[in-house]
A and B are shown apart, each in its own frame.
Chain A
Amino acid sequence: MDLRYLLKRLVSFVVTILVSATLMFILTRLTPNDPIQALLGRMAATGSNIEGGAELVAMYRERFGLDQPILVQYLSYMSNLILRGDFGYSLAYFPAPVLPVIAGAIPWTLGLFLVSTIFAFVAGNLLGALATWPSTPRPLRYVIYALAPVSAIPYYILALLLLYLLAVIFPVFPIGGARTAGGDQSLGLANILDIVHHAVLPGLSIVLALLGFWVLSMRGAMALVKGESYLMYARARGLRDRRIFMRYAVRNASLPQVTALALDLGKVVSGQVLVEIIFSYPGVGYVLYNALRTADYFVIQGVVMFVIISVALATLILDLVYPLLDPRISYRDGQA
């Protein structure tokens, strides 16, 4: 792989993260809400007695550096964030720092996200391609097209529907959580099965919501590929139907789909937040939900930062993989 291509992609990755961190800093300063006022309000609401409230506010302001000039705040924010990975302290779980709060949730989110996104991508594209292929049995085609409109249903409705159907009316799957409460934490087979069992419904609601999009867009991509001369030439060469389907049609039609995947990742992540809330799945989305409820600004910042980094990282990986999929895309600069 060409080093300059790699370097260019890495630089744009870093710049993306720096710019979004800066935007996040500006946006949080623009909100009329004062986190400390919010904290005091919460304390007052729970009946805590606040003596010398004004002094307390001033103390907190000093402690969190909010009395510093905005530029100093920005620089210390950026250096904490980038150099030390320090997102500050959680206001709700003070004095717990933000990072461990999020870090504990990342494996759940990442696992659910990766498995369901990849499964939806592969299955959706394959089904979409099969739906357009002449030798596909007709009943299968009808089933595929019946699946497609499901993607018009928003994530959260779909999740609620599945929850009601498969956890309440027919209690096949658990209502929520990522594992049976009080179970052992070891990585035994029973435990893994328990985790998978819990992940089926949230996973399914993400997969179903994404599937239709891939089915329909793959159908469009296949329609274009079917007009290509290499497909006719492959038929003229008497190649087997299955080979023409996989190696000639699907392989070429999936190229624009990979680009679409890169563009779609952000949507997938934000959709997953809602799914996690509905299934009380202990992922980053659930953490975000709790942070929003408690106005835990630093945790919110941390979660948003996590989303930005993961989307940027996924895009970077797709950028690096794409030239391997399409040899016409050059690694050399100017063309890449």
Chain B
Amino acid sequence: MSAAQLHAATAVAPQAGDVLSIENLRVSYGSRFNAVPAVRNATFSVARDEVFGLVGESGSGKSTLSMAILRLLPAQAHCEADRMRLGDTDLMAAGPAALRQLRWTRLSYIPQGSMGVLNPVMRVREQFLDTIADHTQGAQRREIEGRIETVLAGVNLRPAVLDQFPHELSGGMKQRVCIALAILLEPELIIADEPTSALDVVSQRQVLETLSSARRRIGASMIMIGHDMALQAQLADRIGIMFAGRFVEIGPTRAIFEAPRHPYTQRLIGAIPSIRRRQDIGELARRGLEHADGATASAHPDLPLREVSAGHFAAIEL
């Protein structure tokens, strides 16, 4: 482990009682001789009942990171971590059987765009029932089966959707079915991968509201992935900014928005359009291109995360 990595590990050291703690997670794709890194030394943790916003542009490694936590990376991906624990379970050491049982009972997932995630030839009810059947038995199974309609009502869906096939539901309804499935077994951690990116603005708002109230109800922690800074500002307790596979800044939402330290974060927040200072699209696009160049340049030296204020870390020269 290099000095920089060591520093990063101690700087954002996990606390006891964290739901998820990750140290130096590295994921690369391709062969050993031609490996393309997708996640580089990611170190962060998620506390109990916390919403951790994971922000970054396309290709920055957000989805790879979430798949790595779920241990569902494709076969050609190579994943290593000094530490990756869900509660007191070592995710890196868990075998297939242990992982299967842990998925959904302790760790659930809301996919990015729910278009193709439900089995097209099975009614929604069957997909609820098989999820329950493979994780519970006896009285507990009956209890959760009896709760399906309540959980659906919690995400504003009528029980009638249970008897429908996925293609008969709208995108927003499917997304809410996925939210209902994600909270059904009351997991400790929910990973939501851009849960609203496929929806229109009105549905986005509704779905996010149902998601956050459902999450609060079961007291789960959540990693919310997305590149919409405005949405993150509303929901996240802390935000981690990823760029080119690395965290460039992690901190409380308020600190990130009020005092962003890394140039990439600064430009990300600067790119939020405001109704008060109206810039035309051309200006925003030009600044977007500039920020890409600038951020690439500034991100080039692999700087470790340093604490810039209480709980606020940034990969910058002090």
A contacts, CB < 8 Å to B: 228-230, 232-241, 243, 247-248, 251-252, 255, 325-328
Whether B135 lies near A238 (C-beta < 8 A) is yes
**Closest approach, in angstroms, between the C-beta of B207 and any C-beta of chain A?**
17
Residue in contact with B121 in the complex, picked from A233, A234, A251, CB distance below 8 Å: A251
Residue in contact with A230 in the complex, picked from B99, B103, B116, CB distance below 8 Å: B116
**Closest approach, in angstroms, between the C-beta of A318 and any C-beta of chain B?**
16
Chain B contacts for A234, CB-based, 8 A:
119
Chain B contacts for A230, CB-based, 8 A:
116-120
A-B contact pairs, 11 of them (CB 8 A): A230-B120, A233-B118, A236-B72, A236-B109, A237-B103, A237-B131, A238-B104, A238-B134, A252-B121, A255-B121, A326-B120
**Inter-chain contact count A-B, CB under 8 Å?**
72
Whether A328 lies near B167 (C-beta < 8 A) is yes
Whether B116 lies near A228 (C-beta < 8 A) is yes
Whether B135 lies near A229 (C-beta < 8 A) is no
Q: How far is the CA of A53 from the CA of B147 in the complex (A)?
A: 90
Given contacts A236-B72, A247-B130, A252-B121, contact A328 B165 (CB under 8 A): yes
List residues of B (38-57) whose CB comes within 8 Å of A's CBs: none
Q: How far is the CA of A237 from the CA of B104 in the complex (A)?
A: 5
Chain A CB within 10 Å — which of B109, B117, B165, B167 has the most? Answer: B117
Q: How far is the CA of A328 from the CA of B119 in the complex (A)?
A: 11
**Closest approach, in angstroms, between the C-beta of A135 and any C-beta of chain B?**
9
Q: How far is the CA of A255 from the CA of B119 in the complex (A)?
A: 13
20 other A-B residue contacts (CB within 8 Å) besides A240-B134, A325-B121: A228-B116, A230-B117, A230-B120, A233-B118, A234-B119, A237-B104, A237-B131, A237-B181, A238-B99, A238-B135, A239-B130, A241-B100, A243-B134, A247-B119, A251-B122, A326-B121, A327-B120, A327-B121, A327-B165, A328-B167
Q: How far is the CA of A188 from the CA of B134 in the complex (A)?
A: 46
Residue of B nearest to A254 (CB): B121
Chain A contacts for B118, CB-based, 8 A:
230, 233
List residues of B (43-97) whose CB comes within 8 Å of A's CBs: 70, 72
**Closest approach, in angstroms, between the C-beta of A323 and any C-beta of chain B?**
11
**Closest approach, in angstroms, between the C-beta of B222 and any C-beta of chain A?**
15
**Closest approach, in angstroms, between the C-beta of B223 and any C-beta of chain A?**
14
**Closest approach, in angstroms, between the C-beta of B31 and any C-beta of chain A?**
19
B contacts, CB < 8 Å to A: 70, 72, 99-105, 108-109, 111, 115-122, 130-131, 134-135, 165, 167, 181
Whether B120 lies near A235 (C-beta < 8 A) is no
Whether A238 lies near B116 (C-beta < 8 A) is no
Q: How far is the CA of A325 from the CA of B104 in the complex (A)?
A: 29
Whether A243 lies near B121 (C-beta < 8 A) is no
Chain B contacts for A326, CB-based, 8 A:
120-121
Residue in contact with B111 in the complex, picked from A229, A238, A239, A248, CB distance below 8 Å: A229
Given contacts A237-B104, A327-B165, A328-B165, contact A229 B116 (CB under 8 A): yes
Q: How far is the CA of A164 from the CA of B73 in the complex (A)?
A: 52
Whether B105 lies near A247 (C-beta < 8 A) is no
Residue of A nearest to B135 (CB): A238
Q: How far is the CA of A239 from the CA of B181 in the complex (A)?
A: 13
Q: How far is the CA of A232 from the CA of B116 in the complex (A)?
A: 10
Whether B167 lies near A327 (C-beta < 8 A) is yes
Residue of B nearest to A248 (CB): B119
Q: How far is the CA of A233 from the CA of B134 in the complex (A)?
A: 14
Chain B contacts for A236, CB-based, 8 A:
70, 72, 103-104, 108-109, 111
Q: How far is the CA of A155 from the CA of B165 in the complex (A)?
A: 42
Chain A contacts for B121, CB-based, 8 A:
251-252, 255, 325-327
The 3 closest A-B pairs by CB, nearest first: A238-B103, A233-B117, A229-B116
Chain A contacts for B102, CB-based, 8 A:
238
Residue of A nearest to B181 (CB): A237
Q: How far is the CA of A307 from the CA of B115 in the complex (A)?
A: 43
Whether B72 lies near A240 (C-beta < 8 A) is no
Chain A CB within 10 Å — which of B100, B121, B122, B165 has the most? Answer: B121
Chain A contacts for B103, CB-based, 8 A:
235-238
Whether A252 lies near B120 (C-beta < 8 A) is yes
**Closest approach, in angstroms, between the C-beta of B73 and any C-beta of chain A?**
11
Chain A contacts for B167, CB-based, 8 A:
327-328
**Closest approach, in angstroms, between the C-beta of A241 and any C-beta of chain B?**
8
Chain B contacts for A240, CB-based, 8 A:
100, 134
Whether B111 lies near A233 (C-beta < 8 A) is yes
Q: How far is the CA of A236 from the CA of B193 in the complex (A)?
A: 13
**Closest approach, in angstroms, between the C-beta of B135 and any C-beta of chain A?**
6
**Closest approach, in angstroms, between the C-beta of A252 and any C-beta of chain B?**
6
Given contacts A233-B111, A243-B134, A327-B167, contact A238 B120 (CB under 8 A): no
Chain B contacts for A238, CB-based, 8 A:
99-105, 134-135
Chain B contacts for A241, CB-based, 8 A:
100
Chain B CB within 10 Å — which of A232, A238, A241, A243 has the most? Answer: A238
Chain B contacts for A229, CB-based, 8 A:
111, 115-117
**Closest approach, in angstroms, between the C-beta of B77 and any C-beta of chain A?**
13
Chain A contacts for B111, CB-based, 8 A:
229, 232-233, 236
Q: How far is the CA of A252 from the CA of B130 in the complex (A)?
A: 17
Residue of A nearest to B106 (CB): A238
